[in-house]
Structure 1
């Protein structure tokens, strides 16, 4: 007896996946531009590779701090509202860096931006996962990963065209970040995860997952450390 053919995805689900991938592509594009922008300006201000290393560590800490809050946020607010507010918050830190060319303030702004965009990426991945049928999930997440990598690469290349001096690169980076809101506004018919208060929406959930799959988590830690080191140190050294 032949297996039943998987049912096709609805247009609403397809739009949901497109919305999430498009939004994160725009953010990764801006991230690719901001990384050399931040690292080279910080090098000019401090001439210290140590501070640049601490900045990378701070971004990692922000990820750990922000991620456990996602279940609580989604239990109270819609996916679009959570992503939209965090995109605006993260984008606002870029012009603030230009206004306040002080390393200590940059560290605070970088922490805020990393927290905000961590929430965006986690929510986007929840969105994609919830809308992807099981037989296509791996392929769709492969497309998502390719979009992020492509955005980072294009953003770094864009830095060659914009340079790092003056307001232009900061404003362009801010504008690209804000473009991430457009898919959320345009694709109003897109299906989104139904978020309701749940007993599982607790801050300790991430630690439960880490204990359940330590090998996978350690691979992610090593990959993240190598990736962030390359992104921030290569433009300087």
Structure 2
């Protein structure tokens, strides 16, 4: 086990979470202050998802040409430049283009970084090591809104902070080796439909968590404002959701190494369904705070377990290809979730955000319970 490489790769990917956590809410709040409606904000939130789909198709070809480590470093630096330009050129159309570029660059880091982490993890520790990475990533997102509260939303300090974090993430990868072997077609994203048909519950869980993450950082603060909370409380709500995601991922990882991963997967789906339906009912009570913790933990558990279940099935090029499919599904979730929620919030219901999540959780529960929806396997590759 290459512990130094493991922590370096985790740090590089986690730097993205902190950079996005401090900049994405600021983008939404700026648009809110400029008078844009929920749908326009939802379009901005969904734009990186198009970049995710492009990045998933390019990662394998570029990694084969440049090498995994060099490509990850280059993409982190390109992401840093794009975030810096958010501060320098503040115009809606320009921001759309920049967010697209951020989606392309950082997706390739996620595909290769998460493949690298899963490749390094021994099977007996896979749940804990993947969960430790997930905890670190969730904590970085938690720290983002809190850091934004300290930096303030009336200046561009958060954008420059995000730029510095991405540059630092690139530097920690200097001299690292041992990444999965990738050929020119390894992460091309071909075969997404077959992947979804083979592992439908995992595929849906990834897309659902992607929608959840995009909406928590971009639309949840706006949802809080529209429901009568102050900006500080609305940002705190987003942070508390991520607390739940971060706090319970390690326990979920420990359980994944000791019990049926399928049963744990199902339990997270049921908890997400119940907590989503409860949010509109308990929003203005003190119970909302522990409920938001459970809401975040359940959603985060779905993604952590998806990565664990993929890691126990695949290695090397197949693992990178599977993570390219994860990225494509992530892009679809990030694209559809904010657009659907933004439109529904503006034209159907002010509580569209939790209701969309409840609908997605209900579909997951149905998928994992139906015949062929989920196949729990031993640790050999399939």
Partner of 1:100: 89
Normalising by structure 2, we get a TM-score of 0.55
**Could you report, residue by residue, the CA deviation over 1:147-192 in whole angstroms, capped at 9, with x for unpaired residues?**
110000011100011112233222112111211112112xx2x432
| Mapping 1:210-229, distance limit 5 Å | 210-229=196-215
Say if 1:137 and 1:86 are closer, same or farther in 2 by CA, change over 3 A: same
CA contact (8 A) 1:159 1:169 kept: yes
In structure 1, stretches of 5+ residues that fail to align are 1-8
Contact 1:75 1:197 in 2 (8 A): yes
Cα RMSD (Å) of the superposition?
Answer: 1.8
Establish whether residue 23 from structure 1 lines up as the match of residue 12 from structure 2. yes
Question: Aligned pairs, how many?
Answer: 223
118-127 vs 194-203, which deviates more? 194-203
Q: What TM-score, normalized to structure 1?
A: 0.86
- What is aligned with 2:255? none
**Structure 2: gaps spanning 5 or more residues:** 226-382
Task: Tell me how far apart the structure 1 counterparts of residues 196 and 139 of structure 2 sit (CA, whole Å).
Answer: 29
Q: Distance in 2 between matches of 1:14 and 1:114?
A: 29
Q: Which has the higher contact order (CA 8 A, sep 6+)?
A: 1
Q: Does 1:136 align with 2:125?
A: yes
- Which of 197, 215, 219 aligns to 2:183? It is 197
Matched, 1:82 2:71: yes
Which deviates more from structure 2 when the two are superposed, residues 68-77 or residues 175-184?
68-77
Secondary structure at the aligned position of 1:197 is classed as: coil
Q: Flag the 1:227–1:169 CA change in 2: closer, same or farther, 3 A.
A: closer
In the alignment, is the contact (CA less than 8 A) between 2:84 and 2:163 conserved in 1? Answer: yes
Equivalent in the alignment of 1:182? 171
Could you tell me which residue of structure 2 aligns to residue 52 of structure 1? 41
For residue 84 of structure 1, report the CA deviation from its aligned partner.
0.7
Aligned to 2:98, the other structure's residue is in SS state helix
Is 1:87–1:116's contact at 8 Å kept on the other side of the alignment?
Answer: yes
